[in-house]
Amino acid sequence: MPLKRLRQNISAAFYRHGLLCASYPVPIILFTSASILTCCYPLLKLPLPGTGPVEFTTGVRDYSIPSHESPGDLSERPDWYQGPPVAYIQQVLVKAAVSPWDNSLVPVDVFRSPLGRVFSVLEEIRNHVYTDRSLEALCLQVTDLLPGLRRMQAVLPEHGCLLVSPGNYWQNRRDLFDADPDLLKTVHQHEPKGLHTSATLKDLLFGVPGKQTGVSLYNKKRVVTYTITIALSSYDARFVASLRARLKQLHPSANCTLREDHMVHVHFKEEIGIAELIPLVTTYIILFAYIYFSTRKIDMVKSKWGLALAAVVTVLSSLLMSVGLCTLFGLTPTLNGGEIFPYLVVVIGLENVLVLTKSVVSTPVDLEVKLRIAQGLSNESWSIMKNMATELCIILIGYFTFVPAIQEFCLFAVVGLVSDFFLQMFFFTTVLSIDIRRMELADLNRRLPAEAGMPPPKPGPLRPRETPPPPRPSPHTITLQAPAFRNLRLPKRLRVVYFLARTRLAQRIIMVGTVIWIGILVYTDPAGLRTLLAAQVSEQSPLGEAGLPPHLGVAPVFPGRDPTSTLSVLPAPEPTPLPENQSQGHRAARPEVVPVSSPQITWGPEDEELWRRLSFRHWPALFSYYNITLAKRYISILPVIPVTLHLSPQEAIDTRHPQDTHHAPPPSIKTSDLQADLTLYKVAALGLFAGVVLVLLLFCLYRVLCPRNYGQNGVPHGRRRRGDLPCDEYGYSPPISEISPLLLRGHSMDIECLASDGMLLASCCLARQIRVWDAQTGDCLTVIPNNGLRRSSSSGCWEHRDGWDHIGACEAENIFPIRRRTTPARPALFGDQPDLTPLIDTNFGSLPPSQTLSSSGFDFGGLVEKAYQEHETSPTLAFPPSPPASQQRRRSLGDQPVLPPELPPQNNGDWDSSVWAMELRGNLIATGRSSGKLELWDAVEGSLRCSNEDGVSGITALAFLNNRIVAARLNGSLDFFTVEITKPLGLLQYRGPPGRGSLPPSPCYSSEDVISCQLTRSVQCAHQKQITVLKAAAGRVVTGSQDHTVRVYRLEDSCCLFTLQGHSGGITAIYIDQTMVLASGGQDGTICVWDVLTGSRVSHVYGHRGDVTSLVCTTSCIISSGLDDLICIWDRSTGIKLYSIQQEVGCGASLGVISESLLVTGGQGCVSFWDLNYGDLLQTVYLGQSSEGQSVRQLLVLDNAAIVCDFGNELSLVYVPSVLEKLD
Amino acid sequence: MRRGPYISMITNRTMNVLIRAAMLFMVGVFLALVLNLLQVQRNVTLFPPDVISSIFSSAWWVPPCCGTAAALIGLLYPCMDRRLGEPHKLKREWSNVMRCVAVFVGINHASAKVDFANNVQLSLTLAALSVGLWWTFDRSRSGFGLGVVIAILATLATQLLVYNGVFQYTSPDFLYIRSWLPCIFFAGVITVGNIGRQLALYEYKVSQEKTHQD
């Protein structure tokens, strides 16, 4: 009980909330935006995600190891600057050159002897002792290399000081160096072959970017630069100072103005490698797939994309809010936000949003927007609250696992859930209300032209619901919008392909891929792009960030390569006067300007922090070889010690290897310049190749997924009117499969009756001509020549023309099966004019010569008058089962004062009365005439086989089952006839064209049979009023009448089994099939489903405003159409309306079910195919270009998945190929 | 009668099964690669060192095995549903399947990345998560049963593999393997079964129409 009250309270609260949201959308959206921004404000303080190292500079003089406790004071100290660093890096930067340069020297001399000097410098460093402290005691001792790096074992130090220099290539042994015939090969043999993203061995050992080492055969500058890198585990200022002094003393560097007072601490973040990136990317892909599949379900709103965006914004901003709130309350996120984010989205989910949308959309359309929102909200309130409570419970359980990571996740999730709820309630609901209002406005605009005379609806809160609806009664159902209405149910794979094509996904992926590629290139910097960019940036903005020492990091673009520029000393602007700036005077000491460009060693500010030019992975890579991680730790880089070496040419010649002179520089050796270029080319080629492969892959994918060549055999678009192209919401017209109607022509007037047994097709027009067609090919087989009557021109009497009453004549006329494409276009200027074309007989050749000779001109008056007469009744013609109108019309036609006495009795048929009902079984056509006469014709030969004139009242409906014919008459009586055949033996039976399908179970008659038709029983007062519908199946005959009742008879003994009462109007439609399903619809708009065995009513639904015009059942549902232009689909077992389709005004009411899920309806000059499962329009087939005024009144579904419909004076045979494919 | 290539492809039973198996295989391979990457990062599993250098960071035979298993399981689930005559009713939509996959990846993520106090806690949490996954996305008894059976079989197989020294776990706590492995297997079976059922939905629809036509 309290639960129920709680529920009511929640519902009421939600209702009020919905009203609030829909009433004040703009203030509420502003409010939510403001609150989102407020909650996200703390996020500004969080560091931006990134893995680049962070620097902090301190002075060398007063350096002490930072303490562990939090900085507290002087807040410029970053919080990672605590405790000792992993290592102190001391670099000794050696610049060596052979000078003066001598033309007798070979290119190898540029670097061989300078490199050779590394060993002596190394020796010096190793042996340096300052007050009993040696390097061995201070340096960082390393152990084994990682097991995977065996090939580096020879190069990198193990079990000792971490001291790397180019000498490591030769195990720090001078003798190995001297014995090495090809130094470059030794250096390059360790380089990785492909594209490298991390620091290479050459970088590690040389300690300067590969290009600046100068170790190449094409080094025009002839200066070799390398470093000796020492990693110290503890910092002894005096030892370092003494080492510096010693080296400077030994190898004095002239004009060296490097600053030596700054120590840079570099902090490394946790690195995200590709290995960690892939799962992350995967989770994001899954996340986006989830969002895509979820938002795709949003339907029936004005802007699908807008709402989907709103949903995503809701979820994302709720997450941001939760992170912001958590930060605000001191919960610093330790989890990697990017990693848990997808899971949070999945936990929070988009379900609530979808449920809300669905609920609001499914409220009645005729309500006011405010009320709709409120009602939708309150409908779903309980489930939303329940879900939220469940989720909170689950998260609470998760919280009690007491695992810190999970606890933190849960905390975030709770805050995220709450803020998501808040946003759903305020933000999304409001957006939804705006959307619904827009849709309503659009609806209004759409309908406005139709009701132009109506006063515009008041914009006030209360719309005049009490006023009777305008001429078009406002529909009960949701009127689908035009685009959604034309929604196509395409196969999923096609949708995917369309999606790809529509968003140009392939191109975009390639573009994004290229951009990412370039980004990676710039980031990892294989070609020096980054320095270039950095240099340009630094030129534009002279002062960098506060953390960096001013103007230290970046050098001007590629220090000049040409030897002349080296002569000019670099300008080196010095804004901060340096304390140890003592070397200015020494510059004059070296004025040796040699005409042969002699190498000159210069020291510029760019040499101070040469390590900045290295890859940012340089240090992590070096330490990771010894399984030391720098992630979340820092190293301190001490100022470099400059060493200048000048070598005499003689020394260079002495150190030559014997092979150096006589091997010319082989072209295969890559210089570093060339290598960089090559890398660039390789990358470009690889990128191009990848792009091409991607395109090919997508193309193949498309071919595989889309085997049919839709584009090639497509039909020219002129066929279909442009505006009526059914388009899906993706803007794609469907693949036009070849549904081309086959037009059967020959009737001169509108077709009245249509009957088929699957093989043959019989039609009868107002001119009382019966034509028999082959239902497969559309050939006209027989014309039962009642239309030979022509009003002769002058005499006014009827003449019978018997010239073209047989098959041969039919074919000679060349007017039947013509593809519609070839028909001449007829301008549809006057839609309200009667169609006079059937009256124009252009077939002069077939006229008897006497006729043409004697005629003195046609009198069109009578014909035109008749056509107008027809035209006036045509609105009611749209609904053939509507009995009073059509009957009246038929009678009026039948009563025409024709019947000339000199009618030639070619067949003794009844020519004066019109055909009101017709049935076809086997090859017998049964016709019921207005005179009450029942005739049986041979469909093939066109001869009258027998006739019965027992009744006098006109036959309104016929049923022909097995060998029984049931005829319903105008006066309400029901006659049962038996057809008896006395069959001569041994005769073949004609069954249409041979080789087609299976035989229907109906009996066959051959032309030699003697057929008689006898009235077996006549039920005189079957109904009180005229019988309107007669259906027979499964041994039962069901009649519906104007007297509101349905009666069920047994066919064998014509005994009335039940009288079914339940309708409050005349019966207009009945459906019965082999499975004894009986459904009836009446003028009151109700549909009843009956149990034929017991006569009880199974269900009774109110379906339509106005008559139910036709009814069809499938195994699962009932489809009804009514005068209100609605097609409703009901669940057969429960009687619940599944959905309804609003058709255009004046659409025909004809229906047919082709397969379990394919519905076909007739419309204005077209037939439409619908997917019954979803209610989507599959395709509309236009029967003719000139078909505006003609609506399809009768529609028959044949066994071979073809449909036949009448359409003016033409018949149209439409094959449905897709169904044919499914059939077998 | 003539049939279009697509329709015949869909309605052709063996073809359909083949397509589904191929798709499931790919899903399995993909998940195996990604999830293995997660495990390798944290040095949970150790493969012989020379394969580590490759980007896929696991032995070559792992993804195909997982793919085959995924194909088998994904075909087995709808087949079992049909045999037992109780079709899976619970929210059969792709968004739900995606959610399921995301949760599965999350469980793997948790097993590899979250530091738990002890192994029992980790295993219990993962077991609870796996059962929660089943409850949220499956809820069929047959699915649960099949999941448990396959999880047990897979655990046994892994034990044998490790016993024979094909690979090893860094800190085994359940004979030779980690105790959370059965939970992961169970969750994986549920996930793949979910995908398989969703894929089978298409064939089911088409064949239903076909039987009606017949």
Say whether pLDDT at A853 is over 70.
no
Contact check, Cβ <8 Å, B202/A286: no
Q: Residue A500 domain-assigned?
A: no
Reply yes or no on whether the pLDDT at A276 is more than 60.
yes
The pLDDT value recorded for residue A479 is: 35
Please tell me the distance from the alpha carbon of residue A313 to that of residue A423, in angstroms, as a whole number.
9
In a domain, A301, yes or no: yes
Interface touch A1221/B1, C-beta < 8 Å = yes
The predicted complex's ipTM stands at 0.82
Q: Report, as an integer, the average pLDDT of A676-696.
A: 76
Asked if residue A304 and residue A436 are part of one domain, the reply reads yes
| Nearest-CB residue to A275 (from B41, B94, B101) | B41
SS (H, E, C) A878-941: CCCCCHHHHHHHHHHHHCCCCCCCCCCCCCCCCCCCCEEEEEEECCEEEEEECCCCEEEEECCC
Q: Does B34 touch chain A (CB under 8 A)?
A: yes
* High-pLDDT (> 90) share of chain A, %: 0
Contact residues for A427 (Cβ-Cβ < 8 A; gap 6+): A28, A29, A32, A310, A313, A314, A317
Instruction: Give yes or no: residues A94 and A45 share one domain.
Output: no
Q: In chain A, helix, strand, coil percent, each to 5? A: 35, 20, 45
Is the torsion defined by CA of A572, A573, A579, A585 positive or negative? positive
A428 and A292 assigned to the same domain: yes
Find which of A438-442, A471-475, A506-510 is predicted with most confidence, using mean pLDDT.
Answer: A438-442
- Does the pLDDT at position A1208 exceed 50? yes
For residues A742 and A745, what is the distance between their CA atoms, to the nearest angstrom? 10
Domain boundary among A636, A666, A696: A666
- Report CB contact under 8 Å: A708, B49: no
Contact between A110 and A222 under an 8 Å Cβ cutoff? The reply is yes
Domain boundary (A384, A419, A446) is at A446
Instruction: Select the more confidently predicted residue: B167 or A193.
Output: B167
In this structure, the answer to whether residues A390 and A411 fall within a common structural domain is yes
Q: Is residue A390 part of a domain?
A: yes
Instruction: Kindly give the pairing relationship between strand A1045-1050 and strand A1056-1061.
Output: antiparallel
Band the pLDDT of A723: cuts 50, 70, 90: very low
Full domain range(s) for residue A1176: 740-746+1146-1223
Residue A180 has pLDDT above 60, yes or no: yes
Alpha carbon separation from A348 to A296, A302, A345, A352, A385 (Å, rounded): 18, 26, 5, 9, 14
Task: Provide the domain count of chain A.
Answer: 3
The strands making up A1126-1131's β-sheet, listed across from edge to edge, are A1108-1113, A1117-1122, A1126-1131, A1137-1142
Q: Does B48 touch chain A (CB under 8 A)?
A: no
Residue A168 has a pLDDT of 85
B90: tokens are: 């619970």
**Residues B158, A544: Cα–Cα separation, whole Å:** 57
Residue type (1 letter), A326: C
| A115 contacts A224 by C-beta, under 8 angstroms | yes
- Better-scored residue on pLDDT, A1212 or A999: A1212
Among A301-305, A499-503, A858-862, the minimum mean pLDDT is found in: A858-862
Instruction: Mark residue A758 as left, alpha or beta (left: phi above 0; alpha: psi -120 to 50; beta: remaining).
Output: left
| Least confident stretch, A447-461, A515-529, A760-774, A956-970 | A447-461
Contact status, residue A287 vs residue B102, Cβ threshold 8 Å: yes
One domain, residues A235 and A295: no
CB–CB of A427/A318 below 8 Å? no
Percent of chain A with pLDDT strictly greater than 70 = 64
**More reliable by pLDDT, A1 or A1005:** A1
- Output the CA–CA distances (angstroms, integers) from residue A641 to A93, A259, A908, in the order listed: 6, 10, 128
* Residue B95 to residue A276, Cβ atoms within 8 A: no
Q: Tens digit of pLDDT for each residue in A1167-1178?
A: 777 777 777 777
Q: Are residues A258 and A407 in the same domain?
A: no
For residues A428, A431, A436 and A442, what is the CA-based torsion angle, rounded to 10 degrees?
Answer: -150
Q: Tell me the three state secondary structure of residue B69.
A: helix
CB distance B46 to B170 below 8 Å: yes
Q: What is the Cα gyration radius of chain B? A: 19
How far does the CA of residue B103 sit from the closest CA of chain A (Å)?
7
Tell me: the pLDDT tens digits for A581-627? 444 444 433 444 444 566 777 777 777 777 777 777 778 778 877 87
Q: Give the per-residue pLDDT at B4.
A: 54
Does the predicted model carry a pTM greater than 0.80?
no
How far is it, in rounded angstroms, from Cα A537 to Cα A553?
12
**Which stretch, A50-54, A217-221, A438-442, has highest mean pLDDT?**
A438-442
Rg of chain A in Å (alpha carbons)? 47
Q: With cut-offs at 50, 70 and 90, classify the pLDDT of residue A647.
A: confident
B82 min Cα distance to partner chain A (Å): 21
Instruction: For residue B213, give the nearest of A274, A401, A1222 by CB distance.
Output: A1222
- Examine the pLDDT at A215 and tell me if it is beyond 80: no
CA distance A669 to A184: 8
A399/A349 same-domain check: yes
pLDDT band per the 50, 70, 90 thresholds, residue A904: very low
Sign of the CA dihedral running A500, A502, A507, A512: negative
Question: Is A313 inside a domain boundary?
Answer: yes
Residue closest to A686 by CA, chosen among A501, A529, A520, A523: A520
Angle at A1081 between CA A1075 and CA A1082, to 5 degrees: 155
Mean per-residue pLDDT for A200-204?
Answer: 78
Q: Is residue A386 part of a domain?
A: yes
Q: Tell me the β-bridge partners of A644.
A: A95
| Residue A763 included in any domain | no
Any idea which of A406-420, A986-1000, A1182-1196 has the lowest mean pLDDT?
A986-1000
Judge if A262 and A130 occupy the same domain.
Answer: yes
Q: Is pLDDT of B214 > 80?
A: no
> CA A1029 to CA A1040: how far, in whole Å?
5
What CATH number is given to the structural domain containing A398? 1.20.1640.10
| CB-based contact B1 A1223, cutoff 8 Å | yes
Chain A hits for B2, CB-CB cut-off 8 Å, are 1220-1221
* 3-class secondary structure, A1134: coil
Q: How confident is the model at residue A829, as a pLDDT?
A: 43
* A397 domain-assigned: yes
Across the range A727-732, mean pLDDT stands at: 37
* For range B184-194, the mean pLDDT: 92
Sorted by sequence, the CB contacts under 8 Å of residue A673 that are 6+ apart come out as A211, A216, A218
Query: Residues A462, A464, A466, A469: what is their CA dihedral angle, to the nearest 10 degrees?
Result: -140
Q: Is B115 on the interface with A (CB under 8 A)?
A: yes
* CA–CA separation, A997 and A995 (whole Å): 7
Is the pLDDT at A97 greater than 80, yes or no?
yes
A283 or A190: which leads in pLDDT: A283
Give the span between the Cα atoms of A218 and A228, in whole angstroms.
24
Is the same domain home to A188 and A292?
A: no
Q: Do A349 and B99 touch (CB under 8 A)?
A: yes
B115–A403 C-beta distance less than 8 A: yes
Q: In what helix (H) or strand (E) does residue A130 lie, and over which residues does it extend?
A: strand A129-130
The alpha carbon of residue A334 is apart from the nearest alpha carbon of chain B, in Å, by 12
Does some domain include residue A256?
Answer: yes
Of A397, A431, A446, which one is at a domain's C-terminal end?
A: A446
User: Rounded mean pLDDT of A767-778?
Assistant: 78
Q: Provide, as residue numbers in chain B, all residues whose Cβ is less than 8 Å from the Cβ of A713.
A: none
Torsion of CA A619, A620, A624, A627, to 10 degrees: 110
Q: What rounded mean pLDDT belongs to chain A?
A: 69
Of A148, A1217, A1221, the CB nearest to B52: A148
Quickly list H helices, A118-195: 118-126, 135-138, 174-179, 183-188
- What is the C-alpha to C-alpha distance for residues A1100 and A1102, in angstroms, rounded to an integer? 7
* Helix axes of A404-423 and A25-40: crossing angle, nearest 10 degrees: 160
Q: For residue A631, give both structure tokens.
A: 């992630």
Q: Are A1049 and A1030 in contact (CB under 8 A)?
A: no
A316, A435: one domain: yes
Element (H, E) at A1180: strand A1176-1182
The amino acid present at A453, given as its one-letter code, is G
**Could you tell me the CATH number of the domain that includes residue A1190?**
2.40.10
Are residues A22 and A169 part of one domain?
A: no
Burial of A838 (0-12, 13-18, 19+ CB in 10 A): buried
**A190 and A83 share a domain?**
yes
Which of A282, A393, A408 is best to mutate for the B interface (most B CBs within 10 A)? A282
Query: Could you tell me which residue, A452 or A124, shows the higher pLDDT?
Result: A124
The position carrying tokens 């950095």 is: A534
